[in-house]
Amino acid sequence: MDAAWDRKYRAARSNALSKRFGQSWLALACGRSVMTVTQVNAKAKRLQQLNKLNRPSYIIDEVQLIENLTRCQSLQSRYPIQVLLAMKAFSSQTYMPLIKQYLSGVSVSSYNEARLAHESGAHPIHCYSPAFEQGQFQALLEMVSSITFNSVGQWAHYKAQVNQYPAHISCGLRINPEHEEVKNPLYNPCGPRSRFGVTINQVQKSDFKDLDGILCHNLCGHSSHELERTIMSIETKFGEYLSQLKWINLGGGHMLTRDDYNRTHLGQLADYLSDKYELDVYIEPGEAIVYEAGYLVCQVLDIIDNGGLIAIVNVSASAHMPDVIEMPYRPHILGSKSAGKTPYTYQIGGNTCLSGDIMGEYAFESPLQIGQPLIFTDMAQYTMVKNTTFNGVSLPDIAQLDSHGNISPIQAFGYESFVSRLP
């Protein structure tokens, strides 16, 4: 019976994908296997364990993390491209031994990130910062494999120190192709008066002497087509320098683990750069590595009615998922629907005194109850690395969900986590 339903589900899913993407949907998936009914049921059963938690917790889904890493590894095995984890999105001593089995290294932007990577055995470590601090630079040299400078001035300032270091450190320069793909100015590295990278009018050929590569980062949650346009812009403005370099780092913002991302096209772009310019090609996604591999479990503390139902939970958009407010966006809650789809629509608000500490409007099949758990999805990236104890709210614990549905604690936080950061 299960096998029959699996075949029926596969056929229906295949038809749906074909309608959405055309007959090339399999190429778009790049080897991603469609989940069977059995697999869907197994995942649902694992996630049911999250309802047993009685305090706020970030949960890392080990199964989904490995699936994302496997897709990256498959891409690297088929094309001349090296995938790095951008640790600004997700930093973890616990998961670094796993991640380094699949990826080609990490990218860091600070001494602390570099030290975490180094102490966790990650290698190679690629480092970029908008500006390096003199007091930390020597320590960075002892941990990293490459350093990318943000300006010609920073490169000139540290060049002698790099050359005097006994081991070879590959050096690069961040460029700004002045090609904008990001609409939100908060996340647009190529907007007016950007502080990131050099424009073509700020460099000359001699500036690239003794440099091995360039870094360009101008994407945010984009597809391979935006990357293709970016590469065309790089060629137009910096093309004369590419042949004298050894590598190009195309930054982050590539959602290559998403179902609809065309990984074949990404691989072809890497092929093109490798063949034409003999460049080693790197990308450094952050969100894509942990896409849909994290949850934030919370509980309903109170329900009030003020022009509509409002549920207050024991986590905060401001403190625990800041991108919800910064971007802004409405995170998904398991089992919820769009506002107004059922009679039970609630505004979900956080437990701080910030008026705008609101996750969004959600509809549910039945009325919410005080103490009921709610589970926010896709919460591994830019949460634990950015969260705060604003208003004295406790940081959510961190735990792991394994393939059998077992939940294992990783970190627990309390009063000391709050007071240790204060004067």
According to DSSP, residue 254 is labeled B
Residue 293's closest CA among 109, 85, 110, 119?
85
What is the predicted pLDDT for the residue at 20? 31
What is the predicted pLDDT for the residue at 9? 31
Contact status, residue 72 vs residue 289, Cβ threshold 8 Å: yes
User: Could you tell me if 286 and 196 lie in one domain?
Assistant: yes
User: Could you tell me if 224 and 108 lie in one domain?
Assistant: yes
Does residue 15 lie within any of the structural domains? no
What is the predicted pLDDT for the residue at 23? 32
Of 290, 321, 350, which one is at a domain's C-terminal end? 290
User: Could you tell me if 235 and 257 lie in one domain?
Assistant: yes
153: containing domain: 79-290
- How many folded domains does the chain comprise? 2
What is the predicted pLDDT for the residue at 39? 77
What is the predicted pLDDT for the residue at 36? 74
CB crowding 69-89: b at 16 or more within 10 Å, else e: bebbbbbbeebebbbbbbbbb
According to DSSP, residue 237 is labeled H
CA 259 to chain centre: 16
User: Could you tell me if 281 and 311 lie in one domain?
Assistant: no
Of 259, 290, 321, which one is at a domain's C-terminal end? 290
CATH code where residue 404 lies: 2.40.37.10
What is the predicted pLDDT for the residue at 419? 98
For 34-92, give the DSSP string.
PPPHHHHHHHHHHHHGGGG--S-EEEEEHHHHHHHHHHHHHHHHHSS-EE-EETTT---
Spans in the chain with pLDDT lower than 70:
1-35
User: Could you tell me if 97 and 166 lie in one domain?
Assistant: yes
* pLDDT tens digits for range 105-120: 999 999 999 999 999 9
Of 233, 260, 290, which one is at a domain's C-terminal end? 290
User: Could you tell me if 286 and 302 lie in one domain?
Assistant: no
